[in-house]
Structure 1
């Protein structure tokens, strides 16, 4: 009987129903045995016509083969093939009343409740099953039979039926033990998770950056040493609906930028200069590994619009499309370019803090042109301060408007406008004081320093083109019209750059990137002479991000600065970095 049962079960789950019914119906419904015998006979004929399946279903000869079967069985449930209990055979769309096994399945489903189907509403009766799939079905029916034995139906069980059940359990003892062990282990793990879970709505994400870096050059190199710096961020991402996310991020860092010097020994990158700054040195104001909340934002869809609300640490690049793939890292973290200049258009560094933004889609799109969107945002860096000249509307702020376009699947375009206001002593590209004390994140002193209250109007264009999966080209240009109040010291600032990235270069997950351009500089700004001249300061960066694992990457790279401080008389500076990033 067990041989016939095994051969039958190797063919299809439909046969499973017929063969299991031989034992089960003998206990609860003796008058159905003739029907089952007919089904068993048909199954035997079907097995005889498919000998090749038997070879595939032979019992494993060693532990490795058994484990392999367990793994394959486990994967069944991870590929949207998980089964669910049904209450009527009519729920199976692929089982018809004319099928030879219909009555057997109907009895097992409706009388004993030990046959399950797939979520798509099919039984897949023509598919070969593994020993572990059969063992799972056998286990379900044995449990049901044991219930019948323990009740008033026990007098219906014969010695022959019990012997058959014993042989079945012996034949599949290893599989049944494995399945029960997996269930016990799963129950134990579930209980442990429930007892120690952090939150049902919140997950913890983190990033730790370790960087060995040094600056070189005849002037700059003499005043800097090799340093080992770190920055750690822990983020709590909470979702209340599954579509929204509340981000609470803690940060600690000990990073300090290098001292870029001129020929006379004077420091070029003063408190109003962001030349040579690296992304991991964007520290939220923490320089001694003190912990700070550097981001508190909430994002939620409302109708067709995506709403962004920032209470602290908001930045335009968190909600607006930057169009600089592989160079840009949304968290100013350790997975994009090394420098703040190469990571994004400097126009997104104007203003920051607390505020509101909306991303609104429009247009149907058609042909090559895809649906577009409008992004608007307002961020104030002194929103929490009720003093005169501060607050949400009277202090430093920046209002952004951006049109986003996609051309086919390979080209993305954005046109950006930012109107900003900065009080005396601010910097133009300070991201709302995100790095502490209004320190700029990019650009020269001549482009950044604001000695009086100042209004600015900035215009930018960014584009990304991906001709293939192995090549990405992106770039930007920005123009800034800066108007200090009452001083007559108006000036214009420019910045532009382009980069080429080769994703999966050498290994999947790796990135080789080269980016070059002019960091934000002022055009012949009055009062800036000497170390801040009228030359264009260019920067060239090359890096190679090597993916060690899903959670660890190592990025060696070089940043080359020409004409620091907008003066070609100053010696060029070179920054070399080996950055290691851990994400979890």
Structure 2
């Protein structure tokens, strides 16, 4: 009996060492099963091995060849290619013996196999070594594979930024009290933000996302400039401690409904139809917090649910309920999912033609500490109109986006918020808060993948407030203006550099404040 090795039925013969190769202009084609060696036109029938292999192939059908009747469609048969065919027959006969059908293999064929093995010993050993190496590499890849259902997507931001000007802003109440203005902290910073998104899918249509985040980008907020109007769109400083910043599951119901359920990091802007495309991304869009998108969508970020239903190609309805991070997981009094701060959204998006989109948005929100009304944008009075009193807010907004050409887009929004104090000490005091902005986008400016953007608008400000506490009115006497320009230059598919300049006129709603400028160079790496 011949000792038959248990080998793979298919050997990548193109990896075998080439000897006496003849040139061929035909390319490799799809493998098909060949039942006769005489079909392989590049095997010489005068060789004794040909007749031996022909007999084995015709009895056991064990060689894979090519439809154009060549054993290897792009070159002549070599000893290594022949050995690969022999190895296939060895596998076939070995399988017959292993499955208890050895009576189908006669003694003469075993003798022929033994002689062929002796003749092609060197070539068979080479092929087996290649197969062993291939199997070892495959085993290594399988052992090191992270997951068969999960993909890793990463983003790293390097930020070089600084504020410019003379003094920090103060609000009108502070000015009326005679407060002095401190100097700006104008030292440049170099900081980072890193995000790792683990996206898993179990049906091919759903997505479970776990986001890990670390960052140390100081916010240019009231502690640095006297106002939140100078904040960057990607700031946040946890000293680069890693945390789960988002955990949500998005899945379809039928063909027209998408549900997003989150225990952390759910944002309205990620789930509503995009109208500020190319501006809204923190890693590749506008460099300021206000300039990225309509601040109505910053009503809350944290655990919650958002449902979006598409009635047809033109009409989409979105509804959501989100509570601030750190509130939904706290069972203490005045917190939790339904007993603390919250926001509830309803939006109708209408797209009558492919280049025009309109959205009407309403959000009802409640803040137990009175802060966060405008999501950290606008003046301090707008963000906290009643000095920490419990506050309910009705927000209304209209947003429009029009693509005039492939190289020019126009987005505009206007928003109004009516805030009411709920504390007994200042019960039913009302404040009216306004904001608006225009975004001009220039896709592929300079070259494909680049983007230029201009933003001009009025960040949220308190136009009227019934709140009175001594000499404090918490009302902005003047209107601040936001002017921003940025240009995203794409070095390659994975690296983009975005320089930007932000100018705030009449900071903190006070025309007596000097203008404040913010310069930034954001480098984004995606992988």
**Coarse TM-score class (shorter-chain normalised):** 0.7 to 0.9
SS at structure 2 position matched to 1:356: strand
Distance 1:133 1:491 in 2: 87
Q: Deviations over 1:224-254 (max 9, x none)?
A: 3212222222332232333222222222222
Among candidates 459, 475, 478, match of residue 396 of structure 2: 459
Q: 1:301 to 1:16 in 2, by over 3 A?
A: closer
Please give the per-residue CA displacement for 1:381-408, whole angstroms capped at 9, x wherever unaligned: 2222222222211211111111122233
Verify the 8 A CA contact 1:203 1:237 in the aligned structure 2.
Answer: yes
- Counterpart selection for 2:372 from 392, 409, 427: 427
Aligned residue pairs: how many? 462
Match of 2:412 among 461, 464, 475: 475
Provide the rounded CA distance (Å) in 1 between the counterparts of 2:478 and 2:68: 74
CA distance in 1, matches of 2:77, 2:318: 52
CA offsets 1:56-78 (integer angstroms, 9 cap, x no match):
xxxxxxxxxxxxxxxxxxxxxxx
2:12 paired residue number:
none
Q: Determine which of 487, 490, 494 is the counterpart of 2:427.
A: 487
Determine if contact 2:193/2:217 at 8 Å carries over to the other structure: yes
> What SS is found at the alignment partner of 2:139?
helix
What is the 5 A alignment of 1:376-391? 376-381=319-324, 382-391=327-336
Residue 383 of structure 1 aligns to a residue whose secondary structure is coil
- Does the aligned pair in 2 maintain the 1:563–1:570 contact within 8 Å? yes
Task: Tell me which residue corresponds to 2:145.
Answer: 197
Does residue 307 of structure 2 align to residue 358 of structure 1? yes
Matched, 1:299 2:234: no
Instruction: Name the counterpart of 2:278.
Output: 326
Cα distance, 1:185 vs. partner? 6.6
- The residue aligned with 1:20 is 40
RMSD: 4.2
Alignment of 1:211-250 (within 5 A): 211-220=159-168, 222-250=184-212
Q: Is the 1:534–1:567 contact (alpha carbons within 8 Å) kept by the matching residues of 2?
A: yes
If each structure's strand is expressed as a fraction of its own residues, which one has the higher value? Answer: 2
Match of 1:103 in 2: none
For 1:405 and 1:12, the matched residues in 2 are separated by 51
Give, in whole Å, the separation in 2 of the partners of 1:191 and 1:348.
Answer: 48
The correspondence for 2:383, drawn from 444, 448, 460, is 448
User: Displacement of 1:551 after TM fit?
Assistant: 2.2
Shift of 1:361: 1.6
Query: Which of the numbers 292, 315, 321 marks the counterpart of 2:267?
Result: 315
C-alpha separation in 2, matches of 1:504 and 1:153: 73
Instruction: Write the deviation string for residues 309-359 of structure 1: whole angstroms up to 9, x where unpaired.
Output: 111222211222241011111xxx322110111111101001232111111
For normalisation by structure 2, the TM-score amounts to 0.75
Q: 1:517 pairs with 457, 463, 469, which one?
A: 457
State which drifts further: 6-15 or 507-516: 6-15
Post-superposition offset of 1:215: 0.8
Q: Say which SS state the counterpart of residue 392 (structure 1) adopts.
A: coil
Structure-2 change in CA distance of 1:9 and 1:334 (3 Å): closer
Hey, what's the Cα distance between the residues in 1 that align with 2:205 and 2:29? 41
* Aligned: 1:280 with 2:200: no
Secondary structure in structure 2 of the residue aligned to 1:426: coil
Deviations 1:176-206 (A, max 9, x none): x9x9999777544432221122233333332
**In 1, Cα distance between the equivalents of 2:61 and 2:277?**
59
SS at match of 2:338: helix
User: 1: CA distance between counterparts of 2:374 and 2:484?
Assistant: 20
Aligned pair in 2 of structure 1 residues 133, 410: CA closer, same or farther (>3 Å)?
Answer: farther
The range that moved more, 556-565 or 457-466, is 457-466
Structure 1 spans left out of the alignment, 5+ residues:
33-106, 117-122, 364-369, 431-439
Q: Is residue 260–residue 573 contact of structure 1 (8 Å, CA) maintained in 2? A: no
What's the CA shift for 1:531?
9.6
Distance apart, 1:131 and its partner CA: 4.3
Match of 1:505 in 2: 445
Contact kept? 2:153, 2:198, Cα under 8 Å: yes
CA distance in 1, matches of 2:369, 2:465: 17
- After TM superposition, give the deviation of residue 156 of structure 1 in Å: 11
Query: Is residue 2:481 matched to residue 1:538?
Result: yes
Instruction: Return the offset for 1:542.
Output: 0.8
**TM-score after normalising by structure 1:** 0.68
Alignment of 1:416 onto 2:370: no
Q: Residues 89-238 of structure 1: matches in 2 within 5 Å? A: 111-112=61-62, 114-115=64-65, 130-131=74-75, 141-145=85-89, 152=106, 187-220=135-168, 222-238=184-200
TM-aligned CA distance change 1:137 to 1:417, over 3 Å: farther
User: Equivalent residue of 1:348, what SS?
Assistant: helix
Q: Aligned equivalents of 2:76 and 2:341: distance in 1?
A: 66
Question: How far, CA to CA, are the matches of 1:465 and 1:316 in structure 2?
Answer: 21
- Relative distance call for 1:479 and 1:139 in structure 2 (3 A) is farther
Partner SS state of residue 506, structure 1: coil
CA contact 1:502–1:511 (8 Å) conserved in 2 = yes
What is aligned with 1:346? Answer: 295
CA 1:499–1:529 in structure 2 vs 1: closer, same or farther (change >3 Å)? farther
Instruction: Report the structure, 1 or 2, having the larger helix content.
Output: 1
